[in-house]
Amino acid sequence: MRESYKNVAAMLADLKPIDPVYCVYPHVYCATAEEFLAGFPGRVLYAIKANNEPKVLQALLDAGIEHIDCASLQEIREVRALSQDVVCYFMNPVRLRGAARTAQQEFGVNHFVVDHAAGLKLLLNEIDAKRSVIFVRLAVHHKSARVDLSSKFGASAEDTLTLLQAVADSGAEPALAFNVGSQVMSPDAYVHSIETAIGVLERLPFKLRLIDIGGGYAKAYPGFAAPPMSDYFAAIVKAAHFSLLDNGELMAEPGRALAAPGCSAIAEVLLRKDNKLYLNDGLYGVFWELRYDAHDRYPARAWHNAKPLNGPTQPFQLLGPTCDSDDKLPGLVELPVDIQIGDYIEFGSIGAYSLGGRCDFNGFYSNLVFNITDPDSLPPG
């Protein structure tokens, strides 16, 4: 099976694909990772749940990402299949029975997270505390987070202090983690959460080495503005006056910010009815995130006979191929008025929360993934 094409035109000319095709642009992943690694004042963990496609993971590893935030043993296995050197962190307070033990014994994982005394007890039954770092996850809230992750995980300030002491007593190294949310629209949310965390740590009788401030860095989409990454970094640098041990380090867990830009999805137009275009991919496929209330479309460009289709445009409604009447993309997308059956639409900025959530509902599923090798070739958007 072929792994790559020079560009999308070459792929379309060669394959005229019947199934949706997902394109990975490694040079875009490289630029995105370099920006984050250069800008964030600390250790950068890629949150693999945003996109666990091996070509995406490989592109990020090649770009210099050396730490991966995993939530399951399976994600740890997927990382280990590509690299023995990368450091995996098991950052889910809820794990399958035995998963932490296997992670440590077979895969060398030594970083874990808890947010409850019962969870700490379960974890300590499975791991060797002496060689482990256990993060306590503090609940933080901010109105600008589109998704408030603290509604599910995170301990109160009081419980966090008690848990940090219990971790220290177990012989493991205590550390602090929190997660502001996802699609956090305001860098102030990080300032607010960091100040909350500093307030909690002032009441702790010992110092910590590691503070993990989580993910959530927002990504812009058409009709959905987001601040540049540099605004987040500036806010974090200004606020993060933690009193840490001498070798202290800040950590971040970006998922979307690293995963989104370097991927495109290419769908065929199966049927056109006026301004309605029926595609071979939909809300049960790569577009599943559009079911949730955040952005409503991706940047798009049209292809005809393996060449870009230009000319005057109009807004189109896009519909998936399944028989579920809700399988419609929420936002209207501007495309050439001449677009017709058999043409393709390439959607950009679709690397985050896309490939990882598609399913085979109604019999539609594609796993055609190619690298695009021409560094001058860029996804739409």
We find the least distance from the C-beta atom of residue 140 to ligand PLP, in angstroms, to be 12
Residue 71 or 318 having the CB closest to ligand PLP = 71
Minimum Å gap between C-beta 257 and ligand PLP is 6
Q: For ligand PLP, give the closer residue by CB, 111 or 256.
A: 256
- Site residues for ligand PLP, 123-152, by CB under 6 A, read 149
φ, ψ of residue 176 in degrees (nearest 5): -120, 140
User: Among 47, 38, 8, 5, which residue's Cα sits nearest to residue 260?
Assistant: 47
CA dist 326 and 286 (Å) reads 15
CA distance 120 to 110: 14
Burial degree of 331 (CB within 10 A; 0-12, 13-18, 19+): middle
b/e 186-211 (16+ beta carbons within 10 angstroms → b): bbebbbbbbebbeebbeebeeebebb
Spatial distance between the Cα atoms of 324 and 311, rounded to a whole number of angstroms? 33
Residue 320 in contact with ligand PLP, rule: CB under 6 A: no
Q: Is-contact 268 18, C-beta < 8 A?
A: yes
Q: CB 341 → ligand PLP: shortest distance, Å?
A: 36
Q: Are the C-beta atoms of residues 153 and 114 closer than 8 Å to each other?
A: no
Residue 213 touches ligand PLP, criterion: CB under 6 A: no
Tokens for 346? 């390439």
Which residue's CB is nearer to ligand PLP, number 70 or number 335? Answer: 70
Cβ atoms 294, 331 nearer than 8 A: no
Q: From the CB of 364, what's the least distance to ligand PLP, in Å?
A: 26
Q: Are 25 and 33 in contact (CB under 8 A)?
A: no
Q: How far apart are CA 121 and CA 295, in angstroms?
A: 40
182 binds ligand PLP (CB under 6 A): yes
Check binding of 256 to ligand PLP (CB under 6 A). Answer: yes
Please report, as residue ranges, which positions from 85 to 114 form the binding site for ligand PLP (by CB under 6 A): 91
Q: In the bound complex, what is the minimum distance in angstroms from residue 153's beta carbon to ligand PLP?
A: 7
Which residue's CB is nearer to ligand PLP, number 144 or number 314? 144
Does residue 201 interact with ligand PLP by CB under 6 A?
A: no
Residue 214 lies near ligand PLP (rule: CB under 6 A): yes
| Single residue of 36, 178, 217, 344 touching ligand PLP by CB under 6 A | 217
Q: Which two tokens stand for residue 359?
A: 């399913």
How is residue 329 written in tokens? 């993309």
49 vs 304 by CB, closer to ligand PLP:
49
> Burial, 215: exposed, middle or buried (Cβ in 10 Å; 0-12, 13-18, 19+)?
buried
Judged by CB under 6 A, which of 215, 336, 351, 356 binds ligand PLP? Answer: 215
Q: Provide the minimum distance between the beta carbon of 326 and ligand PLP in the complex, in angstroms, as a whole number.
A: 25
In terms of DSSP bridges, do strands 210-212 and 182-184 run parallel, antiparallel, or are they unpaired? unpaired
How many chain residues interact with ligand PLP (CB under 6 A)?
Answer: 17
Tell me: does residue 349 bind ligand PLP (CB under 6 A).
no
Among the listed residues 26, 93, 222, 254, the single contact to ligand PLP using CB under 6 A: 254
In whole angstroms, the minimum distance from the beta carbon of 99 to ligand PLP comes to: 16
| Interacting positions 44-63 with ligand PLP (CB under 6 A) | 47, 49-50
Q: Which residue among 53, 69, 173, 268 contacts ligand PLP (CB under 6 A)?
A: 69
Strands (E), 35-120: 43-47, 67-70, 87-90, 111-114
Choose between 99 and 277: whose C-beta lies nearer to ligand PLP: 99
Nearest-angstrom CA–CA distance, 359 and 370: 19
Asked if residue 381 binds ligand PLP (CB under 6 A), the reply is: no
Q: Does 255 bind ligand PLP (CB under 6 A)?
A: yes
CA–CA gap between residue 211 and residue 207 (Å, rounded): 11
Residue whose CB is less far from ligand PLP, 149 or 239: 149
Q: Which residues bind ligand PLP (CB under 6 A)?
A: 47, 49-50, 69, 91, 149, 179, 182, 214-217, 253-257
